[in-house]
């Protein structure tokens, strides 16, 4: 079960990272409702390439943290690897569960602006995915 959950999480992180890399190089597919706004008539400004690549690298590193927590390392680990194995999954779970709950205005299950294109997609896809990632990460932590 641990391996299956880890594979699912790693695939999710790789796909999300790849999508952000695609956007970072100027790709347009799928970016129609990824920026929260108060009104659909207001066009949200896309973050720059550098910020998008930082998000992509962060997502990729989350996949690496999951990998490092399920693979058996046969060499002397460092303090950083020990910290990643001890706290990494908890940090990932916290980030994604907090994202799923939201900040009560634009994102999360308890957002104020629900009728925009982003708000509808956030309720239907983005927040449930964040909750799933958070819960799977907690399950992985308890089963490793």
Give per-residue pLDDT as tens, 57-69.
999 999 999 999 9
- Domain count along the chain: 1
pLDDT above 90 coverage of the chain, percent = 62
pTM of the model: 0.89
Q: Is 4 within a domain?
A: yes
Helices vs. strands in the chain: H and E counts, helices first: 5, 0
Q: Is 38 within a domain?
A: no
Q: Is 36 within a domain?
A: no
pLDDT in tens, 86-101: 899 999 999 999 999 9
Q: With H, G, I as helix, E, B as strand and everything else as coil, classify residue 121.
A: helix
> 7 or 80: which carries more pLDDT confidence?
7
Q: Is 41 within a domain?
A: no
Q: Is 89 within a domain?
A: yes
Cα–Cα nearest to 12, from 83, 63, 81, 64: 63
Q: Is 34 within a domain?
A: no
Q: Is 134 within a domain?
A: yes
Residue span of the structural domain in which 80 resides: 1-26+46-142
Q: Is 53 within a domain?
A: yes
């Amino acid at each position: 079960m641990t391996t299956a959950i880890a594979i699912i999480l790693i695939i999710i992180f790789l796909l999300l990272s790849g999508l952000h890399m695609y956007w970072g190089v100027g790709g347009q597919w799928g970016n129609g409702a990824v920026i929260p706004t108060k009104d659909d008539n207001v066009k949200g400004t896309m973050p720059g390439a550098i910020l998008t690549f930082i998000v992509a690298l962060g997502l990729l590193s989350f996949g690496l943290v999951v990998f490092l927590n399920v693979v058996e390392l046969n060499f002397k680990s460092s303090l950083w690897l020990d910290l990643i194995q001890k706290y990494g999954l908890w940090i990932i779970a916290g980030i994604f569960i907090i994202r799923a709950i939201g900040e009560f205005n634009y994102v999360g299950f308890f957002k104020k602006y629900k009728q925009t294109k982003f708000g509808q997609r956030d309720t239907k896809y983005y927040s449930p995915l964040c909750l799933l990632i958070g819960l799977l990460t907690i399950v992985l932590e308890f089963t490793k």
